[in-house]
Copies of this chain bind each other. A is one copy, B any other.
Amino acid sequence: MTTQAAREIPGIRFNGLDADQMVQTVEALKKDKTLAKFEFRASNRWIDGMVTRSSIQGFYGAGAEDTSRSKPFVFTSGEPPVLLGANEGAGAGEFLLHALASCVASTAVMHATARGIRIESISTELRGDVDLQGLLGLDPSVRPGYQRITVKVAIKADCSDAELDELVTLVRGHSPMYDTISRPVPVVLERV
């Protein structure tokens, strides 16, 4: 992360972030790389039909078990009638699009802040194509997951179009969820 711009404006808070705090965080990570290791967690249980519920609270990171959350975030997933549900919640594939969208925006904001760019607005529109023949096992040549995801991002900021293009390139190279979805992740699924 380029922190020169942030260094030039110490103590200034913009984009809702404290540039000093960002620089300090990055410097701490450079000195002790183990602080950069995080483990995120979720517990999920099946409710009925296509409905499940996750509870998300603790995680490990910055060298310690986090204790900042007094209660868990709770998310219910469901399906629409056409997929055998009653819209009890968004579907799994929709939650994944939200994960990608939020990561794209927050990664852009972090890297913009480090460069001294003030963001006015970021909005994204996502589309993901899936063919249910894969889920149902009707055609082994059809993958079960998303065949393609498109993310259209509109950004307004106090910089040139070229700098905005560069920011989007940074997001492609550094967004954790863009990377997780666009490149293979080892997923170990085991019964206990």
Interface residues of A (CB under 8 A from B): 1-2, 15-18, 21-22, 25-26, 29-30, 33, 36-46, 48-52, 54, 56, 59, 61-62, 66, 68-69, 73, 75, 77, 79-84, 87, 89-111, 119, 121-139, 142-155, 164-165, 168, 170-192
**A97-B148 in contact given A39-B129, A176-B130 (Cβ < 8 Å):** no
CA distance A133 to B33 in the complex (A): 8
CA distance A144 to B110 in the complex (A): 14
CA distance A18 to B37 in the complex (A): 45
Partner of A93, one of B18, B80, B176: B176
Assess whether B46 is in contact with A119, with CB atoms less than 8 Å apart: yes
Known A92-B103, A135-B176; 20 more pairs at CB < 8 Å = A15-B48, A26-B136, A36-B132, A36-B138, A37-B130, A43-B123, A45-B122, A46-B109, A50-B106, A56-B90, A61-B83, A61-B132, A73-B89, A79-B106, A93-B180, A134-B179, A135-B174, A137-B170, A168-B190, A182-B185
Assess whether A145 is in contact with B81, with CB atoms less than 8 Å apart: no
- Closest-by-CB residue of B relative to A25 is B84
Can you identify 19 A-B contacts, CB atoms within 8 angstroms? Answer: A16-B50, A17-B49, A25-B84, A33-B139, A36-B136, A37-B129, A40-B91, A44-B101, A44-B126, A45-B124, A52-B105, A56-B90, A56-B98, A135-B174, A151-B190, A152-B192, A180-B181, A181-B187, A184-B184
Question: Could you tell me the distance in whole angstroms from the C-beta of A69 to the nearest C-beta in chain B?
Answer: 6
Assess whether A184 is in contact with B187, with CB atoms less than 8 Å apart: no
- Closest-by-CB residue of B relative to A172 is B189
CA distance A41 to B179 in the complex (A): 19
